[in-house]
Chains A and B, each alone.
Chain A
């Protein structure tokens, strides 16, 4: 597992498309911690702003 964690930090990719492999990895507590840290980092990058609606109305005939 230590090797996997180090690989993750070094952006080395393991075969997550292999279902057995990815399930085993995801159940490991270190993976859960990493995922939580990653989620937190992503949350910090999100910012609430105002939504924006741009409306265009036809100038000739109008169907709705």
Chain B
């Protein structure tokens, strides 16, 4: 899931699919339907619609591929993962886990508990404080926070080294 102001192509450059494909995992990039001027696509302008976009993508992926439905990882950057967190805490989709890179605080979290969906938040050292988000999620889902040292609001270069250990965890 791309961040606000990005496209599928731009996130695929920053977050290439090849390490996951090489490890035997299918990879899906989902682009929001909400174009903002010429500045790219946004996830955080209309959460109800974007939650439905995520739901439709899950259904399409399950229909079109022979994937293990019980081993879906929902991962995203910034606005994209904020919409993802919104979707799971509104009971819209039930992935096996959520890997949340650099979400911001906000009033997008629903009230549904998700005790079986662990959320790992990767927070950049110099990014905005997200204590309120962490406190909101803690009672809803098993949530942990990992600090990305030396980074601002940007993805680390070696994304796969953060993600693959979770995907291969039984």
A residues near B, CB below 8 A? 42, 45-64
B67, CB-defined interface residue at 8 Å? yes
> A56, B36: Cβ atoms under 8 Å?
no
In the complex, chain A residues whose CB is within 8 Å of the CB of B26: 55-58, 62, 64
Cα distance A46–B12 when bound, in Å?
Answer: 23
When C-beta atoms are compared, the residue in chain A nearest to B32 turns out to be A51
B155, CB-defined interface residue at 8 Å? no
In the complex, chain B residues whose CB is within 8 Å of the CB of A57: 21, 26, 65
Cα distance A52–B32 when bound, in Å?
Answer: 7
**Given A48-B35, A51-B56; 7 other pairs, CB 8 A cutoff:** A45-B37, A49-B41, A51-B33, A52-B30, A56-B26, A62-B24, A64-B26
B residues near A, CB below 8 A? 8, 12, 17, 21-37, 41-42, 45, 49, 53, 56-57, 60-61, 64-68, 71
Q: A45-B37, A46-B45, A48-B34 are in contact. Are A55 and B24 (CB under 8 A)?
A: no
When C-beta atoms are compared, the residue in chain B nearest to A46 turns out to be B36
Cα distance A58–B67 when bound, in Å?
Answer: 11
In the complex, chain A residues whose CB is within 8 Å of the CB of B27: 55-56
Task: Give the one of A50, A53, A57, A59 with max B CB within 10 A.
Answer: A53
> A54, B33: Cβ atoms under 8 Å?
no
> B8, A52: Cβ atoms under 8 Å?
yes
Cα distance A48–B23 when bound, in Å?
Answer: 36
When C-beta atoms are compared, the residue in chain A nearest to B49 turns out to be A48
> A49, B34: Cβ atoms under 8 Å?
yes
Cα distance A47–B46 when bound, in Å?
Answer: 12
